[in-house]
Amino acid sequence: MDFALKALGLDEASALPVPALVALVGEGFRPGGDALSAFIERARARGDFKTEAGAHLVSHGVPGMHAERVLLLGIGDSAPARVKKAIGAAAGFLKSARFADVTFCFAQDTCALTLEAVVLAIRDALYLYTATKTTHSKLEPSRIEHITIGVPDLEGQSPLVLQAALTRANAVGEGIALAREWANRPANHATPTLLAKVAQALTELPRIDCEVLGPKEIAKLGMGAFLAVAQGSAQEPRFIVLRYQGADKHEAPVALVGKGITFDSGGISLKPGPEMDEMKFDMSGAASVLGAFRALAQLRPTINVVGLIPATENLPGGRAVKPGDVVQSLSGQTIEILNTDAEGRLVLCDALTYAERFKPRAVIDIATLTGACMIALGGVRSGLFANDDALAEALAAAGERALDLCWRMPLDDEYAEGLKSHFADVANVAGRPAGSVTAAKFLQRFASRWPWAHLDIAGTAWKNGPAKGATGRPVGLLVHYLLALADDLAVQRAADNPPKAAKGKKARKA
């Protein structure tokens, strides 16, 4: 599926001989003398259509128009969030399409973030999981291949800015699709080994390198917490190290650390049976790191990024770690494992310690870490914890731009009291109160040397019910954060290295 941007007024849209035309009509719509404007006004006058977000009307053979089908789609105040909602309401129309081309046109001016929201919402609406389905499945992918997005008076809308938004949206969309695809796959089709192969395949893209460590290399490093989780499974663990080099090799990278539990049974502390199948989504943090790297390779920002993925299953085998066992982490700290279902923080703590060798400018871990965060924030916002205010503010702002929202949670020292242990340096769980916070406090012990943030995506990484499946969050948030940081670093480089004044003959010639 490809997207194209085009200058398109309503009079020109009225004359387009296309299979389908989708008119995005907001509260600021002002009718002109064209057939499409007349159709919108008739529909509004009859009460058949409103401009509120999600309202829609499908018609065929509209007088004066050449499009075979016309969909009027209300987008409210035209804000990106309302546009996203509107496209979602039109998902049925798009999914059932039996045509290859569709044109979207704005009935009023738009901005870059709204354009980006349109592209990502269309991609979301047309996504269909097929990896483990056969031809016996009744679900068929949409036939849409080409999408044109028309914007009135493109010259007055800063074409370079809008084109950049389209490019960014396509890259983020590809990253989200990769994350969704692998998070959706059943655990037997997304083992640690297969996840490592996906990471290695990314090296075919520009500026990406990958190293994969197996059990022997992991043990040699001293990742005792990570290996404790892995020892109950017949599937071998993998520690995946991705590198994106977009800047000078001496520039400090941002480290993204993704929890890669490809299936979480809870281990000896076995989870309840209902909905345990959804624990295949417990590697969504890892999937988001893969998706972010996919987008980076396409956008090529001037920044260095490291991706770290500790990948393993958590199963109750005969060799599985037991409640009360004490293990030593890569940092040297010992951990009393009071609950084997609190395994994500065990694999992450070793990855966070490993990140120190890159001397990063910031470390961000992404994990489906706690059910407590799901209870606190539901499926709307991811939980954000950080030891650095500037980093927290940058991530929150990126989430707003990407419509991939987060909410900052506290990290008061008092929350760590429950993690004290009689038999080790720290316990892996505290009591039930503030479970998402105490989990973050555990991770903070291993990330104190650098600006660090933790995104708990337990409530946002997937949906259940009729729309069951991975969301691809927070790929959008991560990419927007990295792009904004790359812009800031470019300004800083320019300030640190101003152009030198020309001298001698060159100066006179100039």
- Residue 408 phi, psi (nearest 5): -75, 135
294 in active site:
no
Q: Are 144 and 100 in contact (CB under 8 A)?
A: yes
Q: ω before 474 within 30° of 0 (cis)?
A: yes
What distance in Å separates the CA atoms of residue 388 and residue 366, rounded to the nearest whole number?
Answer: 16
Angle at alpha carbon of residue 315, lines to 313 and 320, rounded to 5°: 110
Question: Which one of 6, 50, 207, 271 is the catalytic residue?
Answer: 271
Between β-strands 304-314 and 238-245, what pairing exists: parallel, antiparallel or unpaired?
A: antiparallel
For 364, other C-beta atoms within 10 Å of its C-beta total 28
Question: Which one of 123, 345, 441, 473 is the catalytic residue?
Answer: 345
Task: Identify the DSSP state of 496.
Answer: H
| No. of helices (H) and no. of strands (E), the chain | 16, 20
- Residue 445 phi, psi (nearest 5): -60, -25
29's CB contacts (< 8 A; 6+ apart) are: 40, 51, 107, 108
408 in active site:
no
Amino acid sitting at position 24: L
**HEC sequence for 123-164:** HHHHCCCCCCCCCCCCCCCCCCCEEEEEECCHHHHCHHHHHH
What distance in Å separates the CA atoms of residue 192 and residue 103, rounded to the nearest whole number?
Answer: 41
- Closest by CA position to 416, among listed 448, 442, 382: 442
- State the catalytic residues: 271, 345
